[in-house]
Amino acid sequence: MKIFDDKFDETILDAALSYGASSAEVYFGVSSETEIMISNCEAESVNVKADSGFAVRLLRDGRMAFASSNITDRKRAIDLVRETAKRMMLHSPDDFNIIPEPLDIDVSSVKEPFDDSLENIPLERKIEKAIQIEKAARDYDPRVSGFGWLQYGDSVQDYCVCNSKGIKAYSRGTLAYAFAYAIASGDGCVQTGTIEDAAGYFDKLDPVLLGERVARFAVRMLGLGEIHTGEYTLLLPPETASSFTSAFADMFSADRIQKGKSPLAGRMGDIVASEIVTIIDDGTLPGGLATCPYDSEGVPCSRKVLVRDGILSGILYDSYTARKDRTKSTGNSSRFNYHSQPVITPSNFYIKPSKQVPEEILVNIENGLYITELSGLHAGINPTTADFSVPAKAIVISGGELTRPVDNITISGNLLSFFGNVEAIADDLTWVPAFGMIGTPTICVTDIKVTGKN
């Protein structure tokens, strides 16, 4: 699919160079999105939108200027380039600003998820899929009384990035996702359960499975009690462990590390997690929902082992931060849309699973907590020190069995200590959408402070 007419990129780049840029980049983006909110088995709101446009980055003598527009008329695009070139020389110079060179890396076998039928699926069918989630939850257990939030969404994203150094990269991907927040009533109380799921293809998003799972998550918390403050062994299934993995992923950004705003700064080669923890970011992962041949600067994506057997062995770079550290970009530049400048994000970021099933881990926990819900970990963590404090809900583990649900607890500690205390990892690697995709299996963490009833 051609995003814009032939040679539009050449027109923009030629104009940029003629107006004084020593190098230039043009980024094209086209997207279409659907968002559907469901209430009482009916569509409460439906939002379908499309957007397209382009952005330019111009560089000369270390001075970088950026501009974007949704108007792709050639004359007006050239006018935008001319005005951007004028502003370029007003910017402060930065020796690390760069328009990247093409790399001789073959990514022809890397395939992003793309559902070519998604844009042609009738809106009514998408609404019905969302409604099926609520119906499945209510059918699963009559104690499910409603939903505080139920959303289906999908997107089709196309982008092309070209620059005057010779890069010309193109990608097209799709995503379908659902978020559900179910409410269950019984035993004199009201409780909730949440779930989120995503797939690269519409038909792979299973509404019945989603509805049954979120219903189970809600009703299992009815009849809440309390526990005493102390140190506990925590068993975290993927839906809660992913919050910790996502928070950890943020700290691998080279930008944050170079600015001293990550606890991983200056720690390369140090122990930062348990020896059983290996963390990988793989933009080329077959079947990965964030798999893509190129990042948003046209740099080939790659596989990086960031933590190997507990030891910090890599971080995530874009072209700017790579130049600062005199290394190569890892292909982790991303843009939220054509209006935004590149930022570092993970791709398919995951904890390497083991061959142990979760039940094998559970039976070996004598006294612990099965964490079922966390509230706002990203807001409750200090991004520089990695200290955190986060409200949670759980089910008490006694003698290797799940017993009673508890509420009004707070988990606190330090994220590096948290991953340093990982005692077991299961085989149930599960993906959730975040900035990139976060993959986490069930994990067991020892000696974590939990504040409950005094």
d(CA 230, CA 127): 46
Confirm whether 1 is domain-assigned: no
Q: pLDDT (tens digit, 9 = 90+) per residue, 58-67?
A: 999 999 999 9
Give the Cα separation of 23 and 298 in Å (integer).
15
Give a yes or no: residue 156 inside a domain. Answer: yes
Same domain, 390 and 248: yes
Are 295 and 399 in the same domain?
A: yes
Rounded CA-CA distance 407/369 in Å is: 11
CA dihedral 329, 332, 337, 341 (to 10 degrees): -40
Question: Which own/partner contact pairs does 106-110 have at CB distance under 8 Å and 24+ positions apart?
Answer: 107/284, 107/293, 107/294, 107/300, 107/301, 108/293, 110/283, 110/284, 110/291, 110/292, 110/293, 110/301
Q: How many angstroms from the chain centroid is the CA of residue 26?
A: 25
Calculate the average pLDDT of the chain.
95
Is 224 inside a domain boundary? Answer: no
Pairing of strands 443-451, 230-236: antiparallel
Can you tell me the distance from the alpha carbon of 96 to that of 61, in angstroms, rounded to the nearest whole number? Answer: 10
Residues 274 and 172 in one domain: no
Any domain includes 2: no
**pLDDT value, residue 1:** 44
Q: How far is CA 317 from the centre of its chain?
A: 16
Side chain identity at 13, as an amino acid letter?
A: L
> 171 and 285, same structural domain?
no
Same domain, 213 and 239: no
Output the pLDDT for position 181: 95
pLDDT over 90 for what percent of the chain? Answer: 91
Residue that terminates a domain, selected from 219, 245, 272: 219
CB 57 within 8 A of CB 99: yes
Among the ranges given (41-50, 89-98, 369-378), the one the predictor scored with the smallest mean pLDDT: 369-378
pLDDT band at residue 209 under the 50/70/90 scheme: very high
Q: How do residues 427-437 score in pLDDT, each as one tens digit?
A: 999 999 887 89
DSSP-derived pairing of the beta strands 343-344 and 348-351: unpaired
Average pLDDT over residues 377-400: 91
What pLDDT does 383 receive? 84
* Joined tokens for residue 451: 């504040």
Query: Is residue 357 situated within a structural domain?
Result: yes
Is residue 6 very low, low, confident or very high in pLDDT (cuts 50, 70, 90)? low
* Tens-place pLDDT, residues 389-416: 999 999 999 999 999 999 989 999 999 9
Q: 225 lies in a domain? A: no
Cα distance between residue 63 and residue 24, in whole Å: 12
What is the C-alpha to C-alpha distance for residues 26 and 354, in angstroms, rounded to an integer?
43
**Could you tell me if 192 and 183 are in contact, meaning their C-beta atoms sit under 8 angstroms apart?**
yes
> Which of 165, 189, 219 delimits the end of a domain?
219
Same domain, 247 and 210: no
What are the tens digits of pLDDT across the range 267-282? 999 999 999 999 999 9
The whole-number pLDDT of residue 435 equals 79
Examine the pLDDT at 5 and tell me if it is beyond 70.
Answer: no
Say what the pTM is.
0.95
Q: Is the pLDDT of residue 299 over 70?
A: yes
Name the CA radius of gyration of the chain, rounded. Answer: 24
User: 194 and 257, same structural domain?
Assistant: no
The residue out of 197, 219, 241 marking a domain boundary is: 219
Which residues pair with residue 86 across a beta bridge?
none
List the CATH number of the domain containing 114.
3.30.2290.10
Domain span at residue 140 reads 8-219
Rounded to a whole number of angstroms, the distance between the first and last alpha carbons of the chain is: 63
- The number of folded domains in the chain is 2
Q: Is residue 34 part of a domain?
A: yes
Both 191 and 260 in one domain: the answer is no
Q: Is the pLDDT of residue 86 over 80?
A: yes
- 404 and 298 in a single domain? The answer is yes
Would you say residue 2 has pLDDT above 60?
A: no
Instruction: Say if residue 235 is in the same domain as residue 118.
Output: no
Q: Of 144, 146, 131, whose CA–CA distance to 178 is shortest? A: 131
Q: Are residues 368 and 427 in the same domain?
A: yes
Question: Does residue 193 sit within a domain?
Answer: yes
For residue range 91-133, list pLDDT tens digits in order: 999 999 999 999 999 999 999 999 999 999 999 999 999 999 9
Q: Are residues 332 and 416 in the same domain?
A: yes
What is the C-alpha to C-alpha distance for residues 161 and 179, in angstroms, rounded to an integer? 32
